[in-house]
Chain A
Amino acid sequence: MEALSPTMEEGQVVKWLKSEGDDVTSGEIIAEIETDKATMELVARGDGVLRAILVGEGGTASVGEVIALIGAADEDISELKAASLLASEGNGAGEGRGGVALPDAEPAAPTDAPAGVAPASGSASAIDGRIKASPLARRLATESGVELSAVSGSGPAGRIVKRDIEAAIATGPTVPVAAAGTPVPVGGGTAAPISAAPVAAPVLVPSGAEFEDVPLSQMRKTIARRLTESIGPVPHFFLTIEVDMGRAMEARRTINAMLEPEGRKISLNDLIIRATAAALKRHPACNAHWLGDSIRRFNRVHIGVAVAVKDGLITPIIRDADLKGVAHIGAEVRELAGRAREKKLQPDEYTGATFSISNLGMFGIHEFTAVINPPEAGILAVGGVEEIPVVEAGQVVVRNRMKITMSCDHRVIDGALGAAFLATLKGMLEEPAAILV
């Protein structure tokens, strides 16, 4: 390894431009080396044949270490090779060294744990992670949200062609474009089980492919675009409060007892939605959209409730949440969430929220921050209810506490306004009777 810059101490072989057995001439570029500063070209210092590559692509070597042998075609290099191997083992610096051209210096990334998606059965088109598809098929798949990895190719050698994409569109449901996407999924509270498996263990792929590139579905692209639009230009600030949920939990018990004869049920999150709606009516400045040249304050309250769906999330809307009873809200949330997971929501069911709520409590999250769905001015991130010790009147007691973090668009909501809203919300959750006032 040569010192390719004055400060270089070690280099990593990015690429060998010659293979063992190739002729090399003095001055010819034979490899690309990544140094502390940049990727540099390594030049052969003599004529001959590249007899052995001792440090393969990805391998690292200190300056002065032997990384390859150039000699006459018939020279005996066995002693030199052995000596080099010993030297490198002795050094112990860097991984993946030794022997003949070995790729991959990384400490064994498991080759059978890819970045996530198991190919659908019958899909013969993935080879070493590469999917064969005609340019047109790729374009159509991207445009329609069809995942190439799930399509079986009918062309030569399993090539996916136009008719395969057309068939996939005809048979499978397409991914709806999410108009608003909060970054964290929620299944409506403790009463609604999350049907899509959250945080899945990596799926093992029998073919041994190291990774699979998953083309972006329309939903994924939209989430990415919307969140970047949000975090980028929207000046967020965050307010956290801790709410005592004792009385709210009692209210839930009471209400559920009342609903039991009808076979209905509510969750804490339904109560939180109702309370939030009531609080927004008291602080209409928070129930607003940033329109660029004006702020739109809404007289009605439509709450977007974040729901996890396969490969993403979507925010179905509970309209006029301040005018609906909790049981009604609960039923709506569950119905919308169910259809959201089946990708059967209509656009008007997920566009037009005035404010959003995201709840990660059932995932064990105590506290988090959510990204605002523009043009909304705020979003609540609701954590789980924890039993924690608190001090009351000089005594340590156990209480059920929950944290809510509000993200505010500073162009619409200032600190004091946000704080006032949260204080009202806290008051309503800590004494649900306040919602009736």
Chain B
Amino acid sequence: MAELTYRDALNQALAEELERDGSVFLLGEEVAEYDGAYKVSKGLLDRFGDKRVKDTPISELSFAGLGIGAAMVGLRPIVEFMTFNFSILALDSVINSASKMLSMSGGQIGIPIVFRGPSGAALQLGAQHSQACETWYLHAPGIKVVTPSTPADAKGLLKAAIRDNDPVAFMEGELLYNLKGEVPDDDDFVIPLGLADLKREGGDVSIITHGTMAHVALRAAGQLAKEGIEADVLDLRSLRPLDVDAILATVAKTNRAIYVEEGWPYLGVGAQIVSIIMEEAFDDLDAPVLRVTQADVPMPYNKKLEAWAKPGAARVVEACKKVLYV
């Protein structure tokens, strides 16, 4: 086991996959000369040259389209969005081409592309640069969505995403790049898509979450433990495909669940999870499933308001107690 930062784990994954398969290449704003806006692609231009690591203009719609075109002719592009907020501009290519091409071509044209970059809020970046973008990518069938919360998950899942023949939106956490964690030393450490990870075990309540919020969930679980309440923390990791069995298993165990996400509540990821739990685990529920999300407002710039709008451990604890009727 090595201890790596999330950033370095991603860098390793990119390097290993670029090495392994000559059709893999990276493109995006600042990925080459600048070593990446967040330094995720540090050293890759030097090592692999400018045919494998390419800087693009500030034009998400066109370079996303370019990547999709490259995928259509047999390459395996990794398109970096500096943040997923900017990718909203590229959604026409992503949704109308990447997600649908396989179906519309009757299975003839696959799009083995990865869109990656940070999603979600950082600190005081304002309404337009703080969006959690999962739902834009999840709604249309045809794209996989992955949200790693730890360095090990980041490395293993990115390698799997690059090797996946379907379009994958790989959403990193901007606040996680410096997070350190243990990463297995394996030559080829791959985590299959579609598997959740129980980050903490406890029998009283299930906190289900994904991405950066896994850490909020774990903090909340720690606070609950001081009061004698033990929580399961299930990090979904993959939102499509979804590990439904893991969700149902934790609900069957504790009979009550909370979903924590950094996106908005209306039609958020949690809404889908709640629907699944309600339909498939109805008789296991002792309480309604509650969601803890960002407040239903554009993210404030003001420091205190922003902190208030974000879902924090205190609100998660409160929600857990509500479903425990304590």
Residues of A at under 8 Å CB distance from B?
Answer: 134-139, 154-156, 161-163
A163 to B255, CA, bound (A): 12
Cβ–Cβ contact A136 & B325, under 8 A = no
Report A-chain residues with C-beta under 8 Å of the C-beta of B286: 134-137, 161-162
Q: Does B227 contact A (CB under 8 A)?
A: no
A59 to B286, CA, bound (A): 41
A163 to B324, CA, bound (A): 10
Chain A nearest CB from B266 CB (Å) reads 24
Report B-chain residues with C-beta under 8 Å of the C-beta of A139: 283
A136 to B283, CA, bound (A): 5
Cβ–Cβ contact B283 & A162, under 8 A = no
How many residues on the B side are at the interface (Cβ–Cβ under 8 A)? Answer: 8
Cβ–Cβ contact B285 & A135, under 8 A = yes
Q: A134-B287, A135-B286, A161-B287 are in contact. List 11 more A-B contacts (CB 8 A).
A: A134-B285, A134-B286, A135-B283, A136-B255, A136-B283, A136-B284, A137-B286, A156-B325, A161-B286, A162-B286, A163-B325
Q: A-B pairs with CB below 8 Å: how many? A: 26
- The winner among A135, A137, A154, A155 for most chain B CB atoms within 10 A is A135
Report B-chain residues with C-beta under 8 Å of the C-beta of A137: 286
Chain A residue nearest to B288 in the complex (CB) = A134
Report A-chain residues with C-beta under 8 Å of the C-beta of B283: 135-136, 138-139
Q: Does B282 contact A (CB under 8 A)?
A: yes
Chain B nearest CB from A285 CB (Å) reads 48
Report B-chain residues with C-beta under 8 Å of the C-beta of A138: 283
Hey, what's the 0/1 contact readout for B273-292 against A, CB within 8 Å counting as 1? 00000000011111100000
Chain A residue nearest to B252 in the complex (CB) = A136
Chain B nearest CB from A295 CB (Å) reads 42
5 interchain residue pairs of minimum CB distance? A136-B286, A162-B286, A134-B286, A139-B283, A135-B282
A-B contact pairs, 24 of them (CB 8 A): A134-B285, A134-B286, A134-B287, A135-B282, A135-B283, A135-B284, A135-B285, A135-B286, A136-B255, A136-B284, A136-B285, A137-B286, A138-B283, A139-B283, A154-B325, A155-B287, A155-B325, A156-B325, A161-B286, A161-B287, A161-B325, A162-B255, A162-B286, A163-B325
A131 to B222, CA, bound (A): 36
A135 to B255, CA, bound (A): 10
Hey, what's the 0/1 contact readout for B309-326 against A, CB within 8 Å counting as 1? 000000000000000010
Chain B nearest CB from A163 CB (Å) reads 7
Report B-chain residues with C-beta under 8 Å of the C-beta of A136: 255, 283-286
A103 to B325, CA, bound (A): 38
Report A-chain residues with C-beta under 8 Å of the C-beta of B284: 135-136
A138 to B283, CA, bound (A): 8
Report B-chain residues with C-beta under 8 Å of the C-beta of A163: 325
A162 to B325, CA, bound (A): 10
Chain B residue nearest to A162 in the complex (CB) = B286
- The winner among A136, A137, A138 for most chain B CB atoms within 10 A is A136
A154 to B255, CA, bound (A): 16
